[in-house]
Structure 1
C-alpha cells in the first residue's frame, strides 16, 4: 500500500470517528433533555422504559415508548396519549430538541394554561385534546409558527376569544376547537384547504366568508349565523353599517354600469336574423390544471344545460341506454334486501318484478354538491364501459337524498370471501381465482386512469369490499371516482386514498396513491389478513398489514405469509412470490420509490398460474419456509431492500 493510500484510509477513519462522536453527543443531548422533561410530569409510570443508558432512537427503530423517530435517528416528535399524565409540560426543555416537529398530549389529565407552543418555531402539529386545560389563549400564541398544519384543542375548558394568530398560519389544514368555552366572533380564516370545528362553544356573530364551505355541524351549539348555516344574519348595525353601505353603493353602481353597457350594445348591434342558434363556447385557461379539451368542455357545458332544462329533475336519471327503465315508485314496490351500511351510506338490493336485480345506494355525505356538477360527473361515469367496472345504471338527486343505482354482483364482495364466514364445505378462493381477480382489478384501475386523467386519484376508495364478483368471479370495481362529489371532510376521514403515507405525512395525494391502495389489496389477497388501519377514522400513514408482511420477510421467506386457503401447489409458489414482490413495490411508503401504475399492470399481466421448471420453488417438508433455491438474485435484492425499510 502506497503512502497516499495510507493517508486516504487514515483520513477516512478520522472522519468516521468524528461522525460517530457527533452522533453520540447528539444522543446524549436528547437523552438529557427528555429525562429533564419527564421529571416535570406527574403519574409518568407509563414512561418507565425511558432508560438513560439507551438511545431513544436507533435510526427509525423506537426504543422509548411515546417517542417518534426520524429517518436520521433523531427525535422528531412525542406521542404521549392515553397515559394519565399530569403536571406541567416543559416547553423550554422540548425546545432544546432541534428535530422536534410534532407533540401530542391528547387524552390525559393536564390542567391549567395552554403550553407555550410559540417556543418551538418548527412545530407542525400540536394535539392537546381531551384534557382539562383552561383559561384564555393569548392572541399571539401561534405567531411565527409558519410550518404549523394541525392544531387540536377540543374538549378542554378554554375561554376567551379564538386567537387571531391562527389566521396567519398559511398552511394550516386542520383546526379543532369544539367543546370549549370560546366566545366572541370567529376570526377571518382564509386558508383554502382548512377544515375547522368550532361546535359547542359560546361563539356569536356572522361566520366569515372563508368558512362558508365548511360542514354546518362544525358550528353547532353556538349563536352564529350565515353560510353554511340556514340561519341568516340580521342587518348589521353600529360599526359594521358604514362598511355595508359602501359595499351596497359600489354594487348598485356596478349593476347600473352593466345595464348601460347592455343597452348601448343592443342599440348598436343587430340581432342575428337567421334561424341558427348561437353555439355556446368556452375559453380555455392557459393554466387549466385538468388539460381538458375544448370538445370535452363543450360537452360538459351542454350536459349542464340539458339538466337545467330537463323536466325530469327530481326523477331517476338514467345514464345507460342498454338497461330497462324504471322509476322511484317501481323501486319502492320492489322487494328489498339490506346489503349493508358503508362509510357513505346504506345499500339495498331491489328485485324488480320484470327485470334484473339492481343495487340502490343512499349517499349521506354529498350535501355540498350542486345538482349540475352531480349530473355531469355521474353522466360521464355512466359512459364508462369496461368488463372490470361495476356499471352505473341511474342516479337520483334531491337536496337531502342522493341515490346511485348500479348492477347487482351475484357473488358479493371480495372482502366477504376473504374474511367472512363460509358455509360448511364451501371452498375459499384458490390461487388461480385470486390471480384472475387481481389481474382484473389492475385492468379496471388502468382504465380509470386513462378515462380520468384530471384526477390524481381516479378511484380513491380501492379496497376489498369495493371489489365485487360477478357470477363467474370476475372482479368489478365499485365506488370509483367519487372524490369530486363526496363531502371533503368525510372523504378525508373514511376514504382509503387518504390513509396513504403521502397524505398522512404531507397532506397530499398523487397519481401513485391509488397504486398504494392496489399494493395493500394485493397483500390482503395473498395473506388473507385484513388491513386493520382501514377501520380507523382519519389518517393512516402506514399499514399494519404491510408492517406484518415486512416483519416476516425480514426474518426469512416463509410459507406462513400466504393464506392457506389458496391451496398452494408445487409449481405456483414462484408466481405467488412474484406477486408478493409486486405488492410490496406498490405500497412502498416513499412515493418516489413506489412503482407507477403502468409498471404494476405490466408486471401483474406477466404472472401465470404455474411457473416453469426454471422458476420452480417449493416449500420445505414441514411447509414453513421456502427452500434456498426458491430465491433468485432479484428476489434476494428485493428482500434486502425490504429489510432496509
Structure 2
C-alpha cells in the first residue's frame, strides 16, 4: 500500500512539474506584463489557483481562460500536450498566430474557443478524437481547407464563420444540426441529397453586394450620429462657460462692495471686526486651469491651528483664494492639494459620514490627534468646523503614497525599481509610528490607535521619509460605517467576536508587510472593482508547500544579500497575521526585530539574474524556520 501511495505521489509531482513548465513556456511566448507579474509560485493548490486565467481541480490544471488580453505570439503544436485533465481552453479576442494546436492528448476537452485571433492553416483532424467536445468556436480567423467530418453527439456549438474555408460541408448528423450562420462568410456548400441535390452556399455575389450597401448606409448613419453628439457637447460647454462667467461677475461685484464698506469704516476711525464666512465648496475654474479648483465663501468659521505647526500662519481667506487639485476620494472623504501663494502646499480633507459631534467634542478629539507628535506621523496643521462642513488640513507629502510606489508603473520603462533597502526603511518607519501610537498616553483612549493602516495611508515626503496618515480618525466615525470601510474591522477577531483592539493594528501591519514583500495586490488595498489576494492565506500555503522563493517580489528576489533580511521580515509578518490576537507580537518587539536586520550596502551591485536568485540556497536553507512559525497554526 505504501509503495502504491509513493508511486502515486511521484506521478502527481511529475504531472505538476510538467504542467508548471508548460505554463511558463506559454508565459514566455506571450511576454505579457500582467502574466509575467502574476504567473509565479504555486499554479494549483487543491481546487484553487492564484494565477490569472487558470482553474484547477485536485492540483491539476483543468481550464486555461485568457480572453481579451491582447496576447500575441505563435504557439507550438504540442503546447497543451501535458494538460491531460484540461476541460476548457479559451484564447478569444487576442492576436495569436500560427496553426491550431494538436489536442490529441486532451481527451477531456469540452470547450475550445480560439475565435477572433490570427490563426491560419487547416482545422486539425485531431479534434475528431475528442469524444466529450461540446463547443468549438473558431470564427474570425484565417483558416483554410475543408471542414473535418465532425460527428460527436456531444458537439452542440460550432462556429467557423468569417474564415477562408472552402469545399462541401460534410453531411454528418452533427454538422447538419448546426445552423447556417455557423458557416457564414466562407466558400462552403452543403448539398441536401434528400431534396434533389439542392445545394446551399455560405456566401454569394448578391449577398456580398447587399452587405456592402448596408455597410455604406451604416457608416453614414454613424457619422451623422457622431456629428449630432459633437454639436450637443459643444453647445453644453458653451452654455456652462457662459453661466460661470455670469456667476464670477456677480461674485466679483459682491466682494468689491464688501471691500468698500471695510474701507469706509476704517476711514471713519471706527473699528471693524471682519469675520470670515465660509465653508468649502469645490468647483471648476476653467478659465485658469482645468486641474485647479477655487473655494467659495458660505458660512461662518475660521481655521483653527493646532499648536506650533510648521507651515502655519495662513488663514481661511488664503485657503479661499488657493487653487486646488483633487487627490482622490478616500473612506473618510475627499482630499485636495491646496497651493497657497508664497507658501508650501497643504492637503485639505473634507470629512464625511461622521458620528454626531458638537463643536466641543470635535475640538477635543482633534486635539488628541494633534498631540501625537512623531517623525513618522503626518502632523495635523489645522481644522475647520461648521454645521455642514468639517475640514482637516495636513502638510502635503511631495512624493505621494506607498500604494503608487509599490504598484504603479509595473511593466513600464518609466517605473523606478523599488529595491529592498527602500522597502526595509519603509516598514521600519511604519512600525515606529505604530509603536508610538500604541504606547502614547493620549492615544490609549482610542480602541484601535490607527484602524485603517494600508498602503495609500503611508506617504513619502520630500526627503522620502515615511509618514503615516489617517491615524485617530476612528474616534470620529460611527462604528457601523467603520466596520464596513476600515481595514482593522476585516481582522479575524472582528469576524469572530465583533471586537477590535490595538492587536488589530498589528494584524493590518502584518498584511501590509506581506504586500510589500510579495508585490501582489492585497484584498485590503485593492481599489474598488479590482480583486486583490488574501495574502495571509496565500503566503502560509506557499511556505507550507516550500515555495518560499516564489513568495517575494521579482524586484527584490534578485538581490542575493537581501535574502536573509527578507525571510526575517516574512517571519514577522506571519506572526502578526496570526488569527489569535494574543499570539501576535507587540509593536515594540516588532521594531526591535526590524532594527536588527542588516540592510544591503548597494542595491545596484547586489542584483543577480532572475534564475540565479530564485534558486538561491539562501532561501531554501532558511525556509525551515518559516515552516516552524506556521506549523501549529491550524486556524489559517
Alignment TM-score, normalising by the size of structure 1: 0.48
The structure with higher relative contact order (CA 8 Å, sep 6+) is 2
**Rg comparison, structure with higher value:** 2
TM-score (norm 2): 0.48
